[in-house]
């Protein structure tokens, strides 16, 4: 009876260990994405978001864009993710912007946004502008997060948000390089949008079950259990 009980306990322990050695699925963040433009204008003119990059399509581009009173040159977006080291990033760029909303002209040589995420660290974002102007007013090349400019200042018709950063409920961060909103009437233009975080890190791979160290470990445990039982049996017979 003692032999049977001890052997059963030993085998139960080995079974538990082997179950722990089975492979586990690698969880991946699916929040990382980027798009070039999303436009809503008077008279029901809409576009996008496009082009879009995500984990299924990590890079995308348009040679140019012309939607209503908004036109651009090249638009490029890309995302990347490395779950081995726990990092991900998204980037978007719009070149050669020329737009008009409620009679107010907006232009930029380039609008770029980026966000980066690392496991265990806060997700960060940034925006850079080149030769950007609104109604002839030059805009900062590296605007602070959530910079807001209302044009005209005394009786604003539009609001221009630069480096707009939004903390989403799922833990991700969205960065809009430029977001133009009509304060009275229909009009909403988002240019260069990047979203990423929180970054995902692969779990440590367990010891293989059927070969190598896992197999030798399992066999060693069984042998050790059998040897212990044999020694106890001999002592009882002496």
Which pLDDT belongs to residue 200? Answer: 87
pLDDT at 218 over 90: no
Closest to 35 (Cα-Cα) out of 81, 79, 73, 95: 79
Q: How far apart are CA 19 and CA 204, in angstroms?
A: 15
Task: Tell me how crowded residue 84 is: count the other CB atoms within 10 A of its CB.
Answer: 9
Residue 193 sits at the vertex; the CA angle it makes with 189 and 199, to the nearest 5 degrees, is 155
Mean pLDDT over each residue of the chain, to the nearest integer = 83
Q: Tell me the pLDDT tens digit for each residue of 24-55.
A: 344 567 899 999 999 999 999 999 999 999 99
Q: Helix 212-237 to helix 2-20 angle, to the nearest 10 degrees?
A: 170
Q: What is the mean pLDDT of residues 1-6?
A: 42
Over residues 129-148, the mean pLDDT reads 97
Residue 2 — pLDDT band, cuts 50, 70, 90?
very low
Distances (CA, A) of 63 to 90, 91, 158: 20, 17, 28
């Amino acid at each position: 009876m003692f032999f049977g009980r001890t052997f059963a306990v030993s085998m139960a322990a080995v079974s538990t260990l082997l179950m722990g050695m089975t492979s586990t699925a690698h969880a991946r963040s699916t929040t990382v994405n980027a798009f070039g433009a999303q436009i809503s204008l008077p008279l029901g003119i809409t576009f996008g978001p496009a082009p879009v990059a995500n984990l299924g399509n990590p890079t995308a581009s348009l040679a140019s864009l012309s939607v209503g009173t908004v036109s651009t040159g090249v638009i490029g977006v890309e995302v990347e993710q490395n779950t081995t080291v726990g990092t991900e990033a998204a980037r978007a760029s719009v070149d050669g912007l020329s737009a008009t909303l409620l009679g107010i002209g907006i232009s930029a040589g380039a609008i770029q946004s980026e966000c980066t995420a690392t496991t265990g660290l806060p997700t960060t974002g940034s925006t850079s502008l080149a030769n950007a102007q609104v109604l002839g007013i030059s805009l900062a090349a590296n605007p602070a997060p959530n910079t807001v400019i209302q044009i005209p200042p005394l009786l604003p018709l539009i609001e221009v948000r630069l480096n707009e950063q939004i903390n989403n409920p799922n833990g991700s961060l969205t960065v809009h390089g430029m977001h133009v909103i009509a304060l009275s009437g229909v009009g909403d233009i988002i240019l260069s949008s990047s979203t990423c975080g929180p970054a995902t890190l692969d779990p440590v791979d367990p010891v293989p079950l059927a070969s190598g160290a896992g197999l030798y470990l399992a066999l060693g445990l069984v042998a050790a259990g059998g040897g212990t039982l044999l020694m106890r049996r001999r002592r009882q017979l002496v």
